[in-house]
Amino acid sequence: MKARDPRSFVIDKIIEDLTFAANNMKKPADLEKGRLNRYAALQLLARVALYEGTWMKYRNISGWETYLQKAVEASSTIMNEGNYAIVKGNAPFKFEGFPLYYRQQFIQEDLSTNAECVLARIYQKDLLMHGLSRSVNETGWGISKDFIEDFLCIDGKPITLSDQYQGDETFLLEMQNRDPRLRNMVDNPMLPYFLDGTTPISYPVTSIAVNQCPTGYMASKFRDPVPAQNEANQTTYDWYVFRYAEVLLINAEAKTELGTITQQDLDKTINQLRARLDEPGKFVMGRLTMNPPVDPLATVNGAPRYGYTISSLLYEIRRERRIELAFEGFRWDDIVRWKAGKLIENPKTMLGITVNEEVEQNYTIHNGGTNPFTSRTFYQLTDWDGKTKKLLKVYDNMSRTWDDRLYLKPLPIDQLQLNDNLTQNPGWE
C-alpha cells in the first residue's frame, strides 16, 4: 500500500537483475538450442539502458550518461564475445532480378545456427506453430508515406538530395534505386508468391481496401511465399526474440548520443547492416560517414521533425534503426524515449500512395474494370520537390495533435482505488 518508488530505483533494479543474469548464465554453445543465454541477457540490458538514457536526456534529467555508457558496454561485450554477425538470408532464388537477402532472414525454418540470431523462438510442425505469414497481409494495416520516404537511395543519400530518386508517380518508380529493404519488406509487383508451390507469381497491385491496406503500402516482411506456410496457424519458421542487428544499432546510437562515435564505430555497426544488402561483387548501398548531408525532410512545415533539432549523424542513425527494425515492435518505444511525439503530426504519417491517372488505370485493369479509388478521399499537397500531387488518405480528419500525456500510460483506476498512496500519471488525472 506504499507510494510508488522513484523511477531511477526501479530501473536500477532491472539493470541489477539483468547484470546478474548476464554474469551467471551460460553461453549458447553450452546450452540446448533456444534456451536463455548470457548474450540474450546482455542484449536486454543494453536495450533497457539505451531506453532510460535517452528518456532522461530528452527530458533534461541529469545522469543520463551513466545509462548510455551501460548500453555501450553491454552491446560492446556482445560484439566482442558473441561471435555474431550480420548475414544474408539464404534466398533460394532471385525474382525479376531483385535480391531478397534481407527478407529471407525472417522466414527461416531454423534460426538456431543463424549467426544473426541471439535468441530464437523455435517452432516445429504439428508441435508448435504460428500464423504470422498469413496474418501479416490480413491485418488492415497500411504503411505510411512518411515511412516509405525514409528509405535512402542506393547512393546513401535521402530522396530529397539524390539524383537516383525516380519519383513516386507509381510504386515501381518509387522503389527504383532505393535501399533494397524497401522492396524486401513492402508488398510490390516484384515479390514472389507460390500459388502451386513451384512457380513464382506476383500480384500486380496491392489492395487498397480499408480492411486490408488503406494506404496502398502493405507490410510483407514476414510473408513466406510457400503456400503451406500461409494456412491458418500452420507457419513453422522461427522467430527472432533477440537479433544481433539491434545490438549494432544500440551501440551506434548510444555512442553518438555520448559524443564518442567514430568512423570505425560506424563501420562496425551501421555499415555492417548496409553491407548485407550488397550483391556478390557489387557494392549496392552507400555507407554512412561521420558528416552525412542534412535531409530537408528533417523539417516539416519549417519545424524540426522530432520537435527539436539533432545532428545529421544522429538523424541518420535513427533512420537506420527505423528501417532495419521495422515491424519488429520497436517504433513506439523509440518515439516515447526520444520525446518525439511531434512526429505523428506530419500529415504523411496518415497518407498513402500517390494517386494519378496512370495509377487509377492500372488498378482498374487489375480490379475487373472497377476503379477502387472512387470511394476513397485524397490529400493534395505541393511536395518538397515542388510538384503538386494527391495522396491516398487514411482518415477524413487530418488534424492529429500530439498530447504529452501519451508518453506514459495511465495507471488502472482499480489500482488507484485499492491504494490511496498511488497518484495518477500526468495528464490522466
pLDDT band for position 282 (cuts 50, 70, 90) = confident
How high is the pLDDT of residue 109? 93
Q: Are 158 and 295 in contact (CB under 8 A)?
A: yes
Report domain extents, the chain.
101-240+348-393
pTM equals: 0.96
**Helices marked H in 129-288:** 132-135, 145-150, 171-175, 181-185, 244-258, 263-268, 270-275
Residues 131-146: tens digit of each pLDDT: 999 888 777 789 999 9
15 vs 396: CA distance, rounded Å: 45
How high is the pLDDT of residue 403? 96
pLDDT band for position 93 (cuts 50, 70, 90) = low
C-alpha cell at 72: 555501450
How high is the pLDDT of residue 197? 67
Q: Are 127 and 141 in contact (CB under 8 A)?
A: no
Report the amino acid identity of residue 7: R
Question: What number of CA atoms fall less than 13 Å from residue 183's CA on the CB side?
Answer: 26
pLDDT for 211 beyond 90? no
Question: What percent of the chain is modeled with pLDDT above 90?
Answer: 83
- Residue 303 in 3-state DSSP? strand
